[in-house]
Amino acid sequence: MSLGKGTLIYADYTAKVKDTGEAIETTLEEEAKKLNIHDATRKYGPRLVAVGEGWLLSGLDEEIKKMEVGQKREIELAPEKAFGARDPAQTRMVPLRKFGEKADEMEVGDTVDIDNRVGIVRFIGSGRAQVDFNHRLAGKTIVYDFQVLRKVEKDDDKVRALIDRRFGGEGSKVAFKLGERDLELMIPEELFLLEGLQIIKRGISTDVFKFVPSIAELTFVEKFANAKAVEKKQEVQKEEPRPHAKAAPRPRRKREAAPTQTA
């Protein structure tokens, strides 16, 4: 049975540029090492995908709908269904003086930020640089090796998956309690200063209400611990005397009977 819109799945995939074989992305750590794109700061593993919800490239999203759990396919995406066709109008010549002190160090292929737009330097000469504001993969055909591993079907599994998606590597630190119509998320104190926490919370609430529609109310609980009270409790526990083990009773020695005298 094909996958319907809104189905949550876990998938593994590797993406490459068709013409050059350049590796773009993979969920598999060993594959990343083999392709020389390994990022030590990234957490590798199957990716959570909501089918047809725009979490992936539109062309890839459409092809996944035709797949089944356990199926592995090579999916080829033309530029129009991947990162778009390359638009010549999206390149411009920029005077080197606009780059300030960085101009002397700039090289072809560098990524630069000009007028709040990110582009790639394609040419440098005559006091100017040609900057391409197209996506770096625009005009490229992308090939995916894509495998659907499993569906996420139970409500508690969905909640855990959605928390992990938003919190990344910190997701396992967030506990939750799921009721019939309500959900309570307990955020530990160590995550209170996490960058973008309020945006993360808003994202989780949006995801939960969309993919777990039985939940009518979501509550975030932020608990603060009294550090001094915790330290005192630990000190008391250390100072409490331990009960002494009773010595095992010594076995009694049997008395030998006096020898009987014979007449």
What secondary structure does DSSP assign to 30-89, as a single string? Answer: HHHHHTT---TTSPPSPEEEETTTTSS-HHHHHHHTT--TT-EEEEEE-GGGTT----GG
- pLDDT score, position 247: 57
pLDDT of the residue at 243 = 62
Number of H helices, E strands in the chain: 5, 12
pLDDT band of 263, cuts 50, 70, 90? very low
Q: What is the pTM of this model?
A: 0.77
Q: What mean pLDDT value characterizes the chain?
A: 90
Q: Is the pLDDT of residue 17 over 90?
A: yes
* Domains of the chain listed by start with CATH number: 1-85+137-153 (3.10.50.40), 88-132 (2.40.10.330), 154-239 (3.30.70.2210)
Task: Compute the distance between CA of residue 23 and CA of residue 212 in angstroms, rounded to an integer.
Answer: 35
